[in-house]
Amino acid sequence: MERVGMTGANGFVGRALTRALLKADAWPVSVVREGVAFEPGFEAVHLRSLDAITPDAFEGCASVVHLAARVHVMSDAATNPLAEFRAVNVDGALKAADAARRAGATRFVFVSSIKALAELDPGRPLTETDARNPPDPYGISKAEAEVKLQEYGARTGLEIVIARPPLVYGPEVRANFLNMMRAIAKGMPLPIGAIDARRSMVYVDNLASALVECARHERAPGQIFHITDVEDPTVADLVLLLGKHLNRPARLIPVPASVLKTLGRLTGKTTQIDRLTGSLRVDSNHIRDVLGWRPSFSLDAGLAATAAWYRQSVSALSGTRG
């Protein structure tokens, strides 16, 4: 059975990738931080940090998928956020790639982000050939890591594959997507009924299956792939679909985008409002054309599974409190 190394294996995407690898008859070798609980029965390598990574972590692995990262946060308390992002997302990625190559792996899949390109689209879906114009320290670090890994691969012969997902959702999702479900479930009125901005997304199991192809397909080396569900719902449609699956019809108020933008300027939340009212569409034709990959789950099926997980979580929590 082919061994595939993974960093960040205990994260949201990492757990889905573990399932996808096993389904594809590959054996995941999971690199996780010391002190992090990991599911019994799976092979795990515990490290203090990526700084301590050595070739031993990837012994016998044909390829490595690098998921570990310092993730984007809305309010960063770091004195120098860019330096912090670079230390993990750039330096850490290069150290992992070097350890993978020295262990004998021939391919390194770097899970980047669409934010390595942009925060919003230019009036059309973003493609892999668009120039990098990252909007913030997180995006800058991902863009820099892409370039440096490509240079490293050209210099050493290690096959580099770059995967750029947009918003990832699914059971166990956190951050803004979880907050949105909470608001819908509580029946909170949301002022987005007039927003027609479209957003590309990817269900976590769709992303995981695409990463398996990135790690194993003979045509993947040297490529950059955007990975999406293909469907690009409006923000309002997304909320309506979630409301349907949460069994709680969403309450949408049709506030014009211009009014929301004015409120954003007055409250110092211009960036958040621009993100809400602007489109971020991503073209994922390239991975379908080159690797023949197709998403297994539709947007509606992915949202249904995510909402079911949320309902079960709330029910379990209520039972615990009771």
Cβ(203)–Cβ(229) under 8 Å?
Answer: yes
CA angle 216, 108, 165 (to 5 degrees): 80
Q: What is the DSSP string of 118-181?
A: -SS-SSS-B-TTSPP---SHHHHHHHHHHHHHHHHHHHH--EEEEEE--EEESTT--HHHHHHH
Which residue's entry shows tokens 């320290």? 137
Number of Cβ within a 10 Å radius of residue 196: 12
Which residue, 96, 142, 84, 98, is CA-closest to 118?
142
What backbone phi and psi angles, to 5 degrees, belong to 305? -65, -40
Catalytic residues: 138
- Is 6 within 8 Å of 29 (Cβ atoms)? yes
Q: Residue 47, SS3?
A: strand
